[in-house]
Amino acid sequence: MKNYPRHSYVLATKVFGSMGDGPNDRGLSRKHIFEQLHASLQRLGTDYVDVYYCHRYDKETPIEETLRALDDLVTQGKVLYVGVSEWTAAQMAQALAVADKYLLDRIIVNQPIYNLFNRYIEKEVIPLGEQQGIGQVVFSPLAQGLLTGKYKSVSDIPQDSRAAKLDNFRKGLTEENIAKVQQLEAVASDLNMTIGNLALAWILRQPNVSSALVGASRPAQVEDNAKASDITLSSDVLERVEAIITK
């Protein structure tokens, strides 16, 4: 089993698939990557970033062009490590093959969504990561707040919550999922922890997960979330959680 680095803090930036309406304001072309990296360095007031993520695969740009641009930035010392975000296993495998063929810097990290209600990476992405040494820095580990227990019913949505502001989020906010969260809360209570602790500890149990990105609106939430890094869930607890989520 490979050991994947776990970082408490990392200075990272990301080039998105689209930043504007112009032909060079989107995608993973050499021009767009260079312009966005230098813009990020200027905003951050630094000479380099630890990780540079390419968000979304760009079908309109040859993967060789993207990887050569990233390799040049690594050579220049402006980027230490290269990552991707929300790429499929096949897309990452293609990038790795091209990098090996031309001796370019390899992808070492992927940033996918991963939580108890969204586990698509377990089928292909994590196996590829384990095989190729690509760690997962996952986002939305608390399912945009659903796994904090704040939602008690689809008819009782807090006005300041994400569900009240984002239509897409409400698609996953069902009475069935809320009922599962309430059962998970009971499991967490038996273990003298919050459901957020349980949900994060469940994610961090996975050796291929290097870190989890968690948003917070109060310092107390950050402190509570950090406790999950010291929690080891027993096989019995993992079985209880699995039974709740998959039934």
The pLDDT value given to residue 153: 75
Q: Spell out where the chain has E strands.
A: 12-15, 49-55, 79-85, 107-111, 135-139, 209-213
pLDDT for residue 132 is more than 80 = yes
What's the residue count for the chain? 247
**Rounded distance, CA 204 to CA 230, Å?**
10
User: Which one has a higher pLDDT value, 19 or 109?
Assistant: 109
What is the tens place of the pLDDT at every residue in 143-178?
988 999 888 876 666 655 555 455 555 567 889 999
Cα–Cα nearest to 203, from 241, 168, 173: 241
User: SS3 for 125-192, per residue?
Assistant: HHHHHHHHCCEEEEECCCHHHHHHCCCCECCECCCCCHHHHCHHHHCCCCHHHHHHHHHHHHHHHHCC
CA distance between the termini of the chain: 30
Give the Å distances, CA to CA, from 110 to 14, 38, 48.
12, 22, 19
Lowest mean pLDDT among 12-21, 56-65, 183-192, 232-241: 12-21
**Rounded distance, CA 79 to CA 72, Å?**
9
The structural architecture, per CATH, of the domain 1-111 is: Alpha-Beta Barrel (3.20)
Lowest mean pLDDT among 25-29, 60-64, 112-116: 25-29
The pLDDT value given to residue 236: 97
The pLDDT value given to residue 6: 42
The pLDDT value given to residue 23: 62
Query: pTM for the complete prediction?
Result: 0.86
**Rounded distance, CA 243 to CA 73, Å?**
46
pLDDT for residue 67 is more than 60 = yes
